[in-house]
Homo-oligomer: A and B are copies of this chain.
Amino acid sequence: MRRGKPNDPGRRSRILEATLDVIKADGISAVSYRGVAAHAEVPLGSMTYYFPTLEDLILSALDSTRSELEPRYAAPLRDARNLADVVDALVDATIGPTSPSLTDIRLYEEIRHYGARDPKVAAVLQAVEDDSLVMLQPVVPTSIALAINALLWGWWSHRLAHPDAPLDEATVRKPYEAIVGLAAADHSFPTKEQTRA
C-alpha cells in the first residue's frame, strides 16, 4: 500500500521538460544530471531519485516526445480524399503550418542520431516511421510512401542546414506532385489549381 506522498507532483515532468530544453539547445550529449537539475531548479538528489540512471532520463525525455511530435501532419493526411490533398498535406508538413519548427527538427535529428547507437531509441524511431508509412498506405503504394518519407526528411534536413534560406512553395510542391503522381497509373493525377504552362 502507498504511503508518503510527493510534495511536488509536477517535479518529474518538469525535469523531463528541462531535459528536452537542454537537448534542443545543446544536444543529447550535453545532457547531464547537474545541468538539467539547474535548468529545472531542482536539487541534484531529485534527479537520481526520479531517474536512477542518466540513460533513464534521456530515454524518458525522448519517449515523452513521441505522442507530441508524431501527429502534427497525421490528420491532414488521413483526411486527404485524393492525391491532390495528399500533396497539399505534404507541402504543409514540409514548410507550412503543420511543419515542425527548426527546434523540433533539431530535436528529431537528435533522436535519430542517438537512435543510431541505442537500440531502444531506434525502436521508437522505427515505430514512428512505420506509423507514417501506414498513414500513406491507403493512398499510395509502399514504395512511393518510402520515397515520400525520404524526401520529407530530406527537406526538413535542408531547412535545418539552411535556416536562412527558406524554401519557396513551388520548389517543394512540384517534386511531391511528381512522386505522388507515380501512384496515378500512367498519366498525371489531377492537381487542384493548375498545371504549369
- Residue pair A109, B117 in contact (C-beta under 8 Å): no
One digit per residue, 1 when the CB lies within 8 angstroms of any chain B CB and 0 when it does not, for chain A 137-180 equals: 00000011011011111110110111000011011101100110
| Complexed CA–CA distance, A9 and B147 (Å) | 48
A29 within 8 A of B: yes
A112 within 8 A of B: yes
- Residue pair B146, A167 in contact (C-beta under 8 Å): yes
A181 within 8 A of B: yes
- Which residues in B have their C-beta under 8 angstroms from that of A174? 143-144, 147, 182
Q: A171-B147, A175-B144 are in contact. Are A161 and B109 (CB under 8 A)?
A: no
| Complexed CA–CA distance, A172 and B186 (Å) | 18
Of chain B, the residue at the smallest CB distance from A157 is B153
Residues from 118 to 145 in A contacting B, C-beta threshold 8 Å: 122, 125-126, 129, 143-144
Of chain B, the residue at the smallest CB distance from A181 is B178
Of chain B, the residue at the smallest CB distance from A141 is B171
- Residue pair A157, B158 in contact (C-beta under 8 Å): no
- Which residues in B have their C-beta under 8 angstroms from that of A126? 161-162
A44 within 8 A of B: no
Chain A residues within 8 Å of B, Cβ to Cβ: 26-27, 29, 106, 109, 112-113, 115-117, 122, 125-126, 129, 143-144, 146-147, 149-155, 157-158, 160-162, 167-168, 170-172, 174-175, 178-179, 181-182, 185-186, 195-197
18 new A-B contacts, CB < 8 A, other than A144-B175, A150-B175, A153-B157, are A27-B113, A27-B117, A109-B112, A112-B157, A112-B161, A116-B161, A125-B161, A147-B171, A147-B175, A151-B154, A152-B154, A154-B154, A154-B157, A157-B157, A175-B178, A178-B179, A178-B181, A186-B197
